[in-house]
Amino acid sequence: MSRKLVQLVVFLISVLISTEMRADSSALPALMLELEGGAVWQSYNDVQIPNNADGTRFSLVDVAGKGSWPAARLYVTWNVNETHGLRFLLAPLSVTETSTLESPVDFAGGSFIAGMPAEATYKFNSWRLSYRYRFYASERWRWWIGFTAKIRDAKIRLDQGSEVAEKTDVGFVPLLHISGACSFASNWTGEIDIDALAGGPGRAEDVSLKARYHFNEHWSMACGYRMVEGGADVDEVYTFAWLHFAVVSVSMGF
């Protein structure tokens, strides 16, 4: 990188940092893009398919490890007006690792031998559309409530030599949406964002906590923690996972 280019980048960053946020905290850009990236770990990831005597309950943590792995997601938010908005989320996630099975595993019709390497693939893509209603706004606080339509695109696969078995699942999940933002210092906000469902044979939670710095009315950067937890306990499958994300994001408003 040339010296002049470095100077230009430094100048642009200094301009962004020195620009004050808008005074009207109730105003929002009509369109907002947020690109989030980071690393993901797993505390547990337990699987039994089928969920009866024909399947072995085992841990994908034992096969794939705890991580970390790269992860990313993209938000596109359309603020229709001051109180109503739509948000689209693209959140792909796929992990493939190889390890030695400590005990025999019967999984999705396949039989896998202990003491031999096996490759495990865990995919959990999430595509969502959320409707959000801003029910409270002040100089310091904003709160939204709504609902999220989620399409879950999941796959668990084991490979060991010629033995291959997998279980795929594409389905619709309705979620409750709650989010809030608090201005706690000059140009800084703290944010909480929740999509969640509990009850019946399963549950799902996606919760994030972020601190965001606003360079100006268009650009901001945030960092924080996200957890995704949940699963299902039905006749066909037993699968519960708890994932942790360290995240950094950049947002742009139009």
CATH code: domain of residue 102:
2.40.128
Nearest to 209, CA basis, from 196, 197, 222, 221: 222
pLDDT along the chain (254 residues), means of 10: 47 44 57 97 95 93 91 96 95 93 92 92 96 93 96 94 92 94 94 90 93 94 96 92 97 93
| Model pLDDT, residue 88 | 97
Instruction: Determine if the peptide bond prior to 68 is cis (ω within 30°).
Output: yes
Q: How far apart are the first and last CA of the chain?
A: 30
φ, ψ for residue 21, nearest 5 deg:
-70, 160
- If you count DSSP H runs as helices and E runs as strands, how many of each does the chain have, helices first? 2, 14
Q: What does the pLDDT read at residue 22? A: 37
pTM, entire model: 0.84
pLDDT of residue 6: 45
Q: What is the pLDDT of residue 20?
A: 39
Q: Is 135 left (phi over 0), alpha (psi -120 to 50) or beta?
A: alpha
Tell me the residue length of the chain.
Answer: 254
Nearest-angstrom CA–CA distance, 72 and 91: 7
**Structural domain containing residue 119:** 3-253
pLDDT of residue 201: 84
Q: Which residues contact 13 (CB under 8 A, 6 or more apart)?
A: none
Cβ-contact 97, 117 below 8 angstroms? no
Considering its fold, how many domains does the chain have in total? 1
